[in-house]
Amino acid sequence: MSALTKAKVQTPPLIAAARGEATPHTPVWIMRQAGRYLPEYRRVRSKTEFGALTRTPDLAAEVTLQPVRRFNLDAAILFSDIMVPVEGMGVDLTYAPGPVIAHPIRTLKDVAKLRPLVPERDVPYVLETVRMVRAELPPHVALIGFAGSPFTVLSYLVSGKPSKEFATARAFVQSEPEVTAALLDHLADSTAAYLRAQAEAGAQALMLFESWGGLLGRGDFARIALPSVQRLVSKLKDLDVPLIYFANNCWTVLDLIAGLDVQVVGLDWRGSLAQARTVLGKGKTVQGNLDPASLFAPPEVLKRRIDDVLADAGPGGGHIFNLGHGIWPETDPDAVARLVDHVHSRTEGRP
């Protein structure tokens, strides 16, 4: 592409906001925006098991695009799961509906059996989905690729199934430092290769879900979870693609996260975006953080709650609007339409 043509191609608002640049409005998307709250998703899912859906590019592309057709969103997020690359490493898993691992990983021998991920060979369907979605999306809508953080994926691999507290995984990382280090290194390296391949296939931002790292104590987060994230992001330094680190329930370790080489930090609803900005410093964009429960409030209350989040984020950009965590399956899609339109109309032309 010539320099002139390139200059004419507009940067999607979400990408500009991730870089801390001015945007025409505050960009907005919704975590888990493709999913069970949408009747069109349930129709596709009623005919196809979840794992098969992630491995079938035309269906995965279709459900990725469903929320973008319905709402005025600034981004699509690849329809997949944080456990998909793990299947590519040779792990036997099913979804019920959360991931269930046939043989949990507990020993160095188990770790040695994991294939280092070669994305084109092991998960070609993910890359094909990225290419198909990018070809369909309008230029102002950014495509977000994603993966789970090493510790979050370890939590499932060691526990073998979803858990509220992940006691098995937390006791494991305290008791088995050698296996933990080997597994986290493997996951960091394979996840870096996986995210790089998504960017090369057309993902314009990459998000890392630290869904369960916030269950760790501060010392364990600093010694165990964070170094593996650092290792991962250091391998992606040369990519001109913003990285978003979703720091779920991580308010007490935000000062440690401030040192990470990522452009955006995603935050849950428990804390204040203004306070997060103080801790994270000027160089980082914040993403979040409406309580998913606010989508169940009457329209006027929802609008007020959105205004509160916008006020908390403050003027001057560097904010991507989102929920504080994934949307709940019982949510009314019309509330999502109202949310997206309200964020845009309130922030249009604002400095």
Nearer to ligand 1CP, 18 or 169 (CB): 169
Instruction: Using the rule CB under 6 A, give the single segment among 74-82, 169-177, 292-300, 333-341 that binds ligand 1CP.
Output: 74-82
The DSSP 8-state label assigned to residue 28 in this structure reads B
Which residue from 347, 330, 246 is spatially nearest to 295, judged by alpha carbons? 330
Residue 37: both structure tokens together: 């709250």
Max distance between CA atoms of the chain, in angstroms, equals 58
Residue 243, helix vs strand vs coil: strand
DSSP 188-257: HHHHHHHHHHHHHHT-SEEEEEESSGGGS-HHHIIIIIHHHHHHHHHTTTT--S-EEEEETT-GGGHHHH
Q: Tokens 């991507």: give the residue.
A: 320
Tell me the Cα Rg of the chain. 19
Q: At residue 250, what is the residue type?
A: C
81 near ligand 1CP (CB under 6 A): yes
The question of whether 37 is a catalytic residue gets the answer no
| Beta-carbon count within 10 A of 148 CB | 25
- 50 in helix, strand or coil? helix
Q: Are 239 and 179 in contact (CB under 8 A)?
A: no
Please identify which of the residues 32, 70, 106, 346 carries the catalytic annotation.
32
Q: Is 304 a catalytic residue?
A: no
The 309-348 contact track toward ligand 1CP, x by CB under 6 A, reads -----------------x----------------------
Confirm or reject binding of residue 34 to ligand 1CP (CB under 6 A).
yes
Q: Is 146 in the site for ligand 1CP (CB under 6 A)?
A: yes
Matching residue, tokens 């196809």: 48
Q: What is the spatial distance between Cα 266 and Cα 283, in angstroms, rounded to a whole number?
A: 14
Residue with tokens 């409406």: 290
Q: Which of 81, 122, 268, 312 is catalytic?
A: 81
Our CB check for ligand 1CP shows the closer of 95 and 125 to be 95
The reply to whether 150 sits near ligand 1CP by the rule CB under 6 A is no
**One residue of 12, 20, 27, 35 binding ligand 1CP per CB under 6 A:** 35
User: Does 32 qualify as catalytic in the annotation?
Assistant: yes
Binding marks (x or -) toward ligand 1CP, 205..244, rule CB under 6 A? ----x-x---------------------------------
φ/ψ of 88, rounded to 5, equals -65, -25
Q: Does the annotation count 223 as an active-site position?
A: no
Interacting residues with ligand 1CP between 269 and 308 (CB under 6 A): none
Give the interface segment with ligand 1CP, choosing from 27-35, 110-118, 189-197, 265-273 (CB under 6 A). Answer: 27-35
Q: Which residues bind ligand 1CP (CB under 6 A)?
A: 31-36, 45, 50, 77, 79-82, 95, 97-99, 146, 162, 209, 211, 248, 326
Catalytic residues: 32, 36, 45, 81, 156
